[in-house]
Structure 1
Amino acid sequence: MSTNLIEHRGVVQRVDDGLAIVAMETAGCASCGQGGSCGIGKMAAGRPATLLTLPVGSDIHAGDLVSIALPESKLTLSAVLGYLFPAFAMIFGAWLGAALEGSDGATAFGAMVGFLLALAIARIVIALVPGLLPAPKLIPIASQTQVSQQEFHHEH
């Protein structure tokens, strides 16, 4: 069974204590059809690169061109847990508040409690279920000799 991956290119800026600081290219975000609904595009906010801190193996060094890969199925599951579950819990909380009390205040309070409860449940589920939160992997593409550090400049 093949795994579909979502991949973005980046350049390793530095490696410290098993963590790599990677400048991820975001030039494609301006031309993507998803526009304002994409989280990566919002993180980029018009900058040429976004910095990520990721766990790294011993074969990756500063200056290496890497692919940041994430399994598509894990991202979908995380999106359901992070976006849909809180939204449905908020709607259910609002309905429950309206059904029990009937006032606008109770409806708003029920929505708020449902949303916060969903966030707490999501955090607990992520902590208890190993592998649920997607862990991006760094895949080396090229070494320092082929990539210029100026290719991905960023603001400190």
Structure 2
Amino acid sequence: MGAPLIEHRGVVQRVDDGVALVAVETAGCPSCAQGSACGVGKMAAGRPATLLTIPVSADIKAGDFVLIGLPESGLTLPALLGYLFPAFAMLVGAWLGACLEGSDGSTALGAIAGFLGALAVARIVIGLVPGLTPAPQLKPLANPSTPFPKEHYHD
């Protein structure tokens, strides 16, 4: 058995040249029970679904229900680079600003420089290191147990 996956349900909107456009539920992961407090739901800005483009290797067509899975173990390092590293760099930058100049302004500028520098470094590292961000897995879902909000059209 493979590594545990973080999964989101979705519906394939279309498939073109080996890439599927998938509408993904944005109410949050059912396992974490965060609902509207989930970051995915907030990024969707109240829309019932957000669209993702995902490479397709299986026989998947428009209208199919799918599970989009990411391995849990593959998300640790990108999360550290995206969240912990900028926060740490901001503190180091603030400390350096305070040590060099000693004013509140230099401390704030040091914190801003550390934070922005860390974001730039993280972005470059994630882009350059192959395999750092896991590729999503698309699995067909034979019998969806609950309807997907995007599919209900009321006239």
**What range describes the TM-score normalised by the shorter chain of this pair?**
0.7 to 0.9
Q: Which one has the bigger helix percentage?
A: 1
Pairing 1:98-109 to 2, within 5 Å after superposition:
98-109=98-109
Residue pair 2:23, 2:52 contacting (<8 A) in 1 also:
yes
TM-aligned CA distance change 1:80 to 1:110, over 3 Å: same
- 1:67 Cα deviation from its structure 2 partner: 0.3
Map of 2:47 onto structure 1: 47
Q: So what's the TM-score if we normalise by structure 2?
A: 0.82
How many angstroms apart in 2 are the aligned matches of 1:125 and 1:110? 22
Pairing 1:1-156 to 2, within 5 Å after superposition:
2-27=2-27, 32-34=32-34, 38-142=38-142, 152-153=150-151
- 1:109 Cα deviation from its structure 2 partner: 1.0
Gaps of 5+ in 1: none
- 1:46 Cα deviation from its structure 2 partner: 3.2
Residue pair 1:10, 1:67 contacting (<8 A) in 2 also:
yes
Residue pair 1:49, 1:153 contacting (<8 A) in 2 also:
no
Structure 1 segments, 4+ long, off by >6 Å, are: none
The AA in structure 2 aligned to 1:114 is G
- 1:55 Cα deviation from its structure 2 partner: 1.6
Gaps of 5+ in 2: none
How many angstroms apart in 2 are the aligned matches of 1:110 and 1:150? 47
How many angstroms apart in 2 are the aligned matches of 1:96 and 1:150? 51
Larger relative contact order (Cα-Cα within 8 Å, sequence gap ≥ 6): 1
Query: Per the alignment, in what secondary structure is the counterpart of residue 7 of structure 1?
Result: strand
How many angstroms apart in 1 are the aligned matches of 2:40 and 2:22? 14
How many angstroms apart in 2 are the aligned matches of 1:103 and 1:33? 44
Between the two proteins, the alignment pairs up a number of residues equal to 151
Q: So what's the TM-score if we normalise by structure 1?
A: 0.82
TM-aligned CA distance change 1:112 to 1:3, over 3 Å: same
- 1:90 Cα deviation from its structure 2 partner: 0.8
Residue pair 2:8, 2:29 contacting (<8 A) in 1 also:
no
The AA in structure 1 aligned to 2:91 is I
TM-aligned CA distance change 1:92 to 1:129, over 3 Å: same
How many angstroms apart in 2 are the aligned matches of 1:8 and 1:120? 29
